[in-house]
Structure 1
Amino acid sequence: MQAWRVHRHGEPSEVMRLDEVEPPVPGERQVLLRVLAANVNFPDALLCRGQYQVRPPLPFTPGVEVCAEAADGRRVIATPSLPAGGFAEYVLADADAVLPAPEALDDAAAAALHIGYQTGWFALHRRARLQAGETLLVHAAAGGVGSAAVQLGKAAGARVIGVVGGADKARTARELGCDTVVDRRADDVVAVVKDATGGRGADVVYDPVGGAAYTQSTKAIAFEGRIVVVGFASGEVPAPALNHALVKNYTIAGLHWGLYRSHDPAAVLACHEELTKLATRGAIAPLVSARVPFRAAADAVQRVADGTTTGRLVVVPEAPVVPEKSEAPDAPEGAER
């Protein structure tokens, strides 16, 4: 089978190589899955760079989220077992972590549902206890993770303010349902948030960016607000001033979704059931901005690493080339017909 593999750490476009390899062999309590679509996540770029919290042995295949077909024909979503990740024709997954793909979503959308929406749901509902009528501020609102939080916030009855970078992403954030959109390149983020909330500030902040975005969050947070830190796409890990949290009475909460799989797998299943219901009634739908052919997977991971994308890029298999049928040549003269 074909698989994209990383033989040394570096930028995805430089270190991902398409190899011919043997299909992975399932271990105990694992299943072999045929990949139907593989979502590109920022952790894939970090894996390529050797900067992720998990460092699989070289060579490895990135791709942490797939929609796939099981041997019994079930369409499922899964997080592949590294080092045999999702940018391949076949992957392995833990049998007890495979979940049914929602019928309301096609393969590409289903591949983009699991990590981003589970992260958003646990951040907003378990860590921040978001309530209907509250104001939710989402950084990188037009990105893959941010767009999921926007939809989940609206589904929960919150007023959503989305922060983006650039006019195109501002347009996407409005289409997603943001009540107010802030272009960080042109607007004063804190001033716009304060103005939109009558000076109160945001009750909940969803921050997958870190750096300057976190600093803005501390200035735009409401009394007894909650800032949920889910990542550092900016590359800058902020050092929070805890005296400031004390003076303003706000909470700083972290969210590492992967820990729920080991500490509370029942909660992950319950969350998936809730997400499936939301998808069925159309309240959430992953924003798939492009379905990328398998041969272009390395370029797709690089684009996500560079922060130039909106929504999700999903790698999909390419249809095999079928030779055109040619007419049979005329039989030589005298031959039987």
Structure 2
Amino acid sequence: MKSIEIRETGGPSVLQLAERPCPELTGPDDILVKLAAAGVNPIDTKIRSNGPMLPAGFPAVLGCDGAGVVEAVGEAVTRFKPGDEVWFCYGGLGGPVGTYAEYIVLDNHLAQAKPRSIEMVEAAAAPLVLLTAWEALHDRARLHEGHRVLIHAGAGGVGHVAIQLAKAAGARVCTTVSSPEKAAFAHALGAEYCINYQEEDLVGAVMEWTGGQGVDIAFDTVGPAVFRQTIPAMAHYGDLVTILDPGPELDLKEARMRNLRISLELMLTPMLRDVPRARVQQGEILRRCAKLIDRGDLRIHVSETFPLEQAAAAHALLEQGHVTGKLALTSA
């Protein structure tokens, strides 16, 4: 089978097309999936640049997100049969298992039935960002109807689904964007108020929108500087969640005065630390997101697709920044 692998760290050019044996079922709970597409995520570019996150190391096939058709099932599998369409987040952190390939074998409990109403490309691009946004908003920040929520980078991969998940929960949403075009995109997803961070003061804009109260929940998907800037925009007793390391130079005096709950979100933990309970929970999240997608309350925006062989071009585009929504690779 064709796959894209890395044998050393570096720029996009280290992504090389390779031939590998097609994986085979090794356990009674396994399924063999012929991949139709794979999502491209920032974690992929970080592993390419910094090295695998798992001991399996090099050579490594990248890609955590995938969607495809079940081709074979282990003897204990009752959830799926050949021909079923599935989506999942699995692999891509080190060693030979990843979704930048034509086939993958995984435990059937890690996959879910693909949403019926979307194509394979959209399904493949969705799991990692959906799990990240859901865990951040629902599990970390305890999102409820009526909350005022600030989503940073609302036109990005995580941000554009976070807006929709917050809106579906009955929250009021504001977001940061970098252009009028991205503001229009975010408004169409359900954002009530957009802040152009290149032209407007974040705290001033948030306070104007909230009548001086600040937001109940803020979701940082950008990094330490934005995390720090967000603290004075929070309501007292609010929840501030970040998917990145907030950095060593962090003054939490104002956060403490506001009695903020600060949470860290990493949806990769179940793969990195082998936490079965969390894997089950993530499967339930994907199942619930599929329902939202199929009833029209959640959509996945893929701005551009690349053939598997052009993975390096996809990485180069992603690293330029400002991609709207997601990128995906197609292997069919």
TM-score by length of 1: 0.87
Alignment of 1:271-282 (within 5 A): 271-282=285-296
2:301 to 287, 290, 297: 287
Q: Partners of 2:264 and 2:226 in 1: how far apart?
A: 15
Amino acid at match of 2:123: A
Percent of aligned pairs with the same amino acid: 30
> What does residue 329 of structure 1 align with?
none
Structure having the higher Rg: 1
1:120 to 133, 140, 148: 133
- 1:137-167 CA-to-partner distances (Å, cap 9, x unmatched) read 0111100011110110111111111112233
Mapped contact 2:62–2:91 kept (Cα < 8 A) = no
> What does residue 74 of structure 2 align with?
none
* 1:38 lines up with 2:38 in the alignment: yes
Mapped contact 1:81–1:94 kept (Cα < 8 A) = no
Unaligned runs of 5+ in 1: 319-337
Deviation at 1:75, TM superposition (A): 0.5
Q: Partners of 1:270 and 1:20 in 2: how far apart?
A: 34
Q: Per the alignment, in what secondary structure is the counterpart of residue 236 of structure 2? A: strand
Q: Partners of 1:135 and 1:223 in 2: how far apart?
A: 12
Amino acid at match of 2:101: A
Q: Partners of 1:269 and 1:18 in 2: how far apart?
A: 31
> What does residue 325 of structure 1 align with?
none
- 1:100-152 CA-to-partner distances (Å, cap 9, x unmatched) read 11112211111122121122112111111111111110111100011110110
Deviation at 1:243, TM superposition (A): 2.8
1:180 to 174, 193, 211: 193
Mapped contact 1:81–1:92 kept (Cα < 8 A) = no
Q: Partners of 2:107 and 2:211 in 1: how far apart?
A: 49
Change (3 A) 1:301 1:238: farther
Alignment of 1:111-190 (within 5 A): 111-190=124-203
Q: Partners of 2:248 and 2:54 in 1: how far apart?
A: 21
> What does residue 205 of structure 1 align with?
218
> What does residue 243 of structure 1 align with?
253
Amino acid at match of 2:268: G
> What does residue 316 of structure 1 align with?
330
Of the structure 1 ranges 73-82 and 210-219, higher mean CA displacement relative to structure 2 is found in: 73-82
Unaligned runs of 5+ in 2: 72-81
Alignment of 1:188-227 (within 5 A): 188-227=201-240
RMSD, aligned CA: 1.9
> What does residue 26 of structure 2 align with?
27
> What does residue 79 of structure 2 align with?
none
- 1:282-302 CA-to-partner distances (Å, cap 9, x unmatched) read 110111112222232221122
Change (3 A) 1:282 1:239: farther
Deviation at 1:195, TM superposition (A): 0.7
Q: Hey, which bits of structure 1, 4+ residues long, moved more than 6 A?
A: none
Amino acid at match of 1:90: Y
